[in-house]
Amino acid sequence: MSWLEVVGWAGSALLVWSLLQRRLLRLRIWNLIGSVILVGYNAVAEVWPMAALNFALAVINVWQLVSLLRSRHDERRYQVVEVATDDNFLAHVLRVHWSDIAKFNPEFRFDDEHRLAFLTLNGDEVVGVLMLRPDPADPAVALLELDYVTQRYRDLSPGEFVFRRSGQLTAHGFERVVTPPGMVAPYYSRLGFNQAGDRYVLDLTAH
């Protein structure tokens, strides 16, 4: 097998691998890399229709990546809606994603004692669930119990719209948010949280 064939197979493998990604950002990145490799391969092999096809795919991927990265902080793209903890739709969302929720929030247990619940939406698609309760010792402190983002949007950190941009938490009188210990793969440093031992703390009055 020549080096050119190796390059062609590698590009094809990356293109197929990209389609198996459930996260939007990763799908576009891997698809772009595979498309660029196949543009070069087909150009060297002088298979111009395939080179043109993969060039078009690369352009589409670049456009989609730019759109994703620009909209990740766009308040017009995401909405935060407060729901009752006994809401049937909330219960449905938790059931659908329960196995994935358990991976990142192994201590979470859903019951009627949860005080506040918020859904983050992108259009009509639910992309995140946040559940918390006031600290009995200090009602200005929100104790985070669940912060779940669906796999498609996990690289885009839509949690910032709940914590920072929506004003939902400060409207309830909260001044700080404290995460539970032992969360798997926490991303809070990207949202302005400060690490305190095995927890993360966000000062809502700092901005």
Q: Which of 126, 130, 118 is nearest to 82 (CA)?
A: 118
SS3 assignment, position 193: coil
- Whether the model clears a pTM of 0.85, i.e. scores above it, the answer is no
Angle between helices 24-44 and 48-71 (to 10 degrees): 160
pLDDT band of residue 24 (cuts 50, 70, 90) is confident
DSSP state of 56: H
Q: Pairing mode, if any, of strands 125-135 and 116-122?
A: antiparallel
Beta bridge partners of 200: 195
Q: How confident is the model at residue 75 (pLDDT cuts 50, 70, 90)?
A: low
Q: Pick the closest to residue 129 from 156, 166, 176, 97 (CA basis).
A: 97
**Contact in structure between 113 and 86 (CB atoms under 8 Å):** no
**Contact assessment for residue 133 and residue 102, using Cβ atoms and an 8 Å cutoff:** no
Position with higher pLDDT, 88 vs 109: 88
Residues 52 and 5: their CA atoms lie apart, in Å, by: 19
- Better pLDDT: 76 or 137: 137
pLDDT at residue 109 in the model: 79
Q: Is the pLDDT of residue 185 over 70?
A: no
Phi, psi of 199 (to 5 degrees): -125, 170
